[in-house]
Amino acid sequence: MVHETIAVISDCDDTLCPDTTNKLVQDLGIDSSDFWRNQVAPKVDDGWDPPLAYLTKLLEVANALSEQGLTKSFIRASAAGVRFFPGALDFVRRIRELLSENAEYREAGISVEWYIVSSGIEELLRSTPLADEADGIFACTFDYSDDGSAVGIKRVVTFTEKTKFVYAINKGISEEVLRRLPYRVNDAMEYEDRRVPFENMVYLGDGPSDIPCFSMIRHLRGKAIGVIPPDDRELRKPYELAEGDRLTVGPYTADYRDGTDLFKMTARIVTGIADDILERRAQRIRPSPTH
């Protein structure tokens, strides 16, 4: 069996746009430096998982600021102000267009899907234009009361938890099914039955929370592309990404416009996967000798 689907999987915050959670904190009127350094960091030092620490503290601070606390309407209003890095919103659409120009790719039914796997807040990400562009968004979620106030934490996407969603994509488990039946991701499944093999995956990310996915996907013959937020003047994240030979290529500055190094390399990798699919398809249908 030849698998014709290619999955582009990316982080969001500092990969596609500046940190959306940090923007939400600032929109609440909270000093973001104080929030991360003096409120979240001590919880992490005390053994809390970083995403769980920031989500818990965010609820505490928001509840102290107003009776309603953090609401869906406020999160959506914050999302309306998110500005993406150049070309980030439509770079996968443009790669699809490039592939559609190739008659062999069209005949083989090769398609490209885009998934967001993030430790950010899902309600916020789904309230941006990403909801119309991506085929799936997996991120942290709150539990909401009937009036739309966040009253608890429903799901946390930790660093290694990101790999769970990559496996869900690999096995063809939809967002809806995964939410209702989270243990489905552990189902035994033969390679031939998996919807998107790892060698058909490209993962883009910017920092430590992406390293488990980088390492796993590369080990399983997929591709890992490092991205640098444009304002990372200390070059701390590029150093962390480059350590340990975790990347296939990069890191590149987060500029996804045509002609940039990041877009050209991503498009080249995706077309390379498409060529590999054609080769596997040709081997499958190649006639056997008759004498």
| pLDDT tens digits for range 191-241 | 888 999 999 999 999 988 898 899 999 999 999 999 998 877 665 666 566
Q: pLDDT averaged over the chain?
A: 91
User: Is the preceding omega at residue 129 within 30 degrees of 0, hence cis?
Assistant: no
pLDDT band at 250 (very low <50, low <70, confident <90, very high): confident
For residue 135, what are its two tokens?
């085929």
Q: What is the pTM of this model?
A: 0.92
* pLDDT of amino acid 179: 87
Give CA–CA dist 239/220, Å, rounded: 23
**188-196, long-range: CB within 8 Å, 24+ apart, which pairs?**
192/1, 194/3, 194/170, 195/3, 195/5, 195/169, 195/170, 195/171, 196/3, 196/5, 196/6, 196/7, 196/113, 196/169, 196/170, 196/172
pLDDT above 70: residue 2: no
Question: Average pLDDT for residues 119-135, to the nearest whole number?
Answer: 96
Cα 241 to Cα 247: distance, rounded to the nearest angstrom: 7
Percentage, residues of the chain above pLDDT 70: 92
Listed in sequence order, the residues at least 6 apart from 83 whose beta carbon sits closer than 8 Å to its beta carbon are: 17, 18
